[in-house]
Structure 1
Amino acid sequence: MMQYVKLVIEISEIHQESLIAELFEMDFTGFEQRGGQIITYIEEKKYNHSQKKRIEQLLATYPQEGFIESEEIIADRNWNRQWEQTLKAQTIGKFFVKPTWSREKCPNNKILLEIDPKMSFGTGYHETTRLMLEALPSIVTNGDHVIDAGTGTGILAIAAVKLGVSRVFSFDVSEWSVNNARENILLNDVADAVTVKPGSTEEIPDNCSADVLLANIERNVILSMVPDFKKVLKPEGQLLLSGLLQKDLDVICDRLGDDFEVTDIAQKNEWISIHANRIVL
């Protein structure tokens, strides 16, 4: 059974978003903010002494220094029970995102997305997920073929199908995320239109040609995947990226280079999304 390390970090609320961004790049997930605390998780095999020292060094750079209050090894569990009191239904653009335990009803003019997040990144609470969901209706069209890179909870794949795309190919390197995405896809009755595979871009079928590619992943992974994005996108296909901080904009745009034209950049707090079209020379 997979085990996780749970960290409780004491840090001023004003600095929490910045620290979460750093922790996200270190493979932490399931962030929960409680006043002056961040509670987060990481697979035990990915947590070591050097990572702990890196976190302590990061905390020391803030004006009001924070500290790791506790670290605890915990086994795989039903995370929904733990999160029920903190995750609530919410409206995001055209969507109404709610966990299954919520009794709130979807407004008539919204598209329902039921998501049981477990520990996967993509509850709708994080700025990057919100940026992606808000942009999605203006990007996808009926009948599109979509690739969802790093699917997490599967929320973007589900949203795309409910907007009318014909099929979505999704993948994630985390076995936990793949299982969670499959559960949410069944929950939303879109299993006929969505395929989820464990792994990365090597899992994309050779004959795959996408109208839209979605990637809400951290910066370094996106940088490594850009050549693959070009290969699988149709001429003039669209690319929507997030999981990025404002400081990442220049390096991402440089990596996209002459193969893509950036058409829009949206921002929430320190986080951004980038919309780009593949250029056919």
Structure 2
Amino acid sequence: MSEHLQLTIVIDDDLQEYLIADLFDMDFEGFEQLDNKLIATIPAARFDDMKREELERILISYGQNFLIEKEEILGEQNWNEEWEKTIQPQQIGDFYVHPTWSSSESTEGLTDLIIDPKLAFGTGYHPTTRLILKLLPGFIEEGDKVLDAGTGTGILGIAALKIGASEVLGFDIDEWSRTNATENILLNEVENFEVKLGSVETIPQDEEYDLILANINRNALTEMIPDLLEHLKSNGYLILSGLLKEDEEYIKKLDALADLSLLVTKSEDEWIAMAYRT
């Protein structure tokens, strides 16, 4: 195993998921989220002056107070194995989420979700994922067609299929997502889950869905919601997350949602999920 560089970055909790996405594109491989700090790991050979400048530009774009607090060269060890140790089984609402390398057995009565995430994405630990998983059983009926916008590891689409949905279309702009979601679909032995690389343009023009899930972020949702609603059936449901509590009033005032009924807003820490019906 080669040497790794570990950076400790001071950044607000609510921005860490966005920074992780940027760092993942820069070849960072492991992440640990702490209060107002993010620890990120990259093979030392892949971090040069150009990447340092790129990272510094990204941090400046987030705010002047965010910085690299500490750098440390780590000795040789299998960092993937070390990271895997941090992914533990957990109950989330009616679901039992665990990776393949966990030997824990699910609790009777829970729906089993086997999720092997690519580093730090879609593990089920983020509140936005947990919020939608907790809401999901109340919005799925047998035979529903589901659209999963920003599918990530595929965890939400897989959960929907396991509790009654007949088919799922997921899309994501990240190549890692299509690969990882496909792996998790096979692990869970679910069928009729198609994953596409891209955004709303990948949705078949004439298709409509009983339920649309969108766990992204406020800015992306603002742009995407009008296109998503074109594919939502009458009396269908739309569940939005990736939102902070401070975003709630902004989302409520979106013109595209004016004709929908807000059924419930569910929160965890500073995060929320909002469920609408046409």
Q: Which residue of 1 aligns with 2:70?
A: 69
Which aligned pairs between 1:75-224 and structure 2 lie closer than 5 A? 80-119=80-119, 121-190=121-190, 192-224=191-223
Find the residue that maps to 1:147 and give its secondary structure. strand
The answer to whether the Cα contact below 8 Å between 2:218 and 2:243 also exists between their aligned partners in 1 is yes
Cα deviation, residue 227, structure 1: 0.7
The answer to whether the Cα contact below 8 Å between 1:240 and 1:274 also exists between their aligned partners in 2 is yes
The answer to whether the Cα contact below 8 Å between 2:16 and 2:33 also exists between their aligned partners in 1 is no
User: What whole-Å deviation, never above 9, does each CA across 1:215-252 have from its counterpart, x for those lacking one?
Assistant: 11011111101111110000121000111101111221
Q: TM-score, normalised by structure 1?
A: 0.82
**Cα–Cα, structure 1 residues 189 and 21, in superposed 2: closer, same or farther, change >3 Å?**
closer
Query: 2:162 & 2:261 partners in 1: Cα distance?
Result: 27
Which aligned pairs between 1:254-269 and structure 2 lie closer than 5 A? 254-255=253-254, 256-269=256-269
Q: Which residue of 2 aligns with 1:62?
A: none
Query: 1:265 & 1:106 partners in 2: Cα distance?
Result: 28
Which aligned pairs between 1:241-280 and structure 2 lie closer than 5 A? 241-255=240-254, 256-278=256-278
Query: 1:87 & 1:34 partners in 2: Cα distance?
Result: 15
Cα deviation, residue 35, structure 1: 7.5
Find the residue that maps to 2:246 and give its secondary structure. helix
Give the partner amino acid of 2:64: Q
The answer to whether the Cα contact below 8 Å between 1:216 and 1:242 also exists between their aligned partners in 2 is yes
The answer to whether the Cα contact below 8 Å between 2:13 and 2:36 also exists between their aligned partners in 1 is no
Q: Which residue of 2 aligns with 1:20?
A: 16
**Cα–Cα, structure 1 residues 167 and 71, in superposed 2: closer, same or farther, change >3 Å?**
farther
Larger mean Cα displacement after TM superposition, 208-217 or 31-40: 31-40
Query: 1:223 & 1:71 partners in 2: Cα distance?
Result: 39
Which aligned pairs between 1:220-235 and structure 2 lie closer than 5 A? 220-235=219-234
Query: 2:273 & 2:110 partners in 1: Cα distance?
Result: 22
Q: How many matched pairs?
A: 257
Q: Which residue of 1 aligns with 2:237?
A: 238
Query: 1:178 & 1:225 partners in 2: Cα distance?
Result: 19
Q: Which residue of 1 aligns with 2:27?
A: none
Q: TM-score, normalised by structure 2?
A: 0.83
Give the partner amino acid of 1:249: E
Instruction: Give structure 2 stretches of 5+ with no counterpart.
Output: 25-29
Counterpart check, 1:53 vs 2:60: yes
Structure 1 runs of 4+ with >3 Å offset: 21-24, 26-31, 34-37, 40-49
Query: 1:8 & 1:47 partners in 2: Cα distance?
Result: 16
Instruction: Give structure 1 stretches of 5+ with no counterpart.
Output: 60-65, 73-77
The answer to whether the Cα contact below 8 Å between 1:56 and 1:68 also exists between their aligned partners in 2 is no
**Cα–Cα, structure 1 residues 19 and 70, in superposed 2: closer, same or farther, change >3 Å?**
farther
The answer to whether the Cα contact below 8 Å between 1:144 and 1:167 also exists between their aligned partners in 2 is yes
Cα deviation, residue 161, structure 1: 0.3
Q: Which residue of 2 aligns with 1:38?
A: 38
Cα deviation, residue 85, structure 1: 1.4
Find the residue that maps to 1:106 and give its secondary structure. coil
Query: 1:180 & 1:201 partners in 2: Cα distance?
Result: 20
The answer to whether the Cα contact below 8 Å between 1:131 and 1:273 also exists between their aligned partners in 2 is yes
Report percent identity of matched pairs: 44
Q: How large is the RMSD of aligned CA atoms in angstroms?
A: 2.9
Query: 2:148 & 2:157 partners in 1: Cα distance?
Result: 6
Cα deviation, residue 121, structure 1: 2.7
Find the residue that maps to 2:153 and give its secondary structure. coil
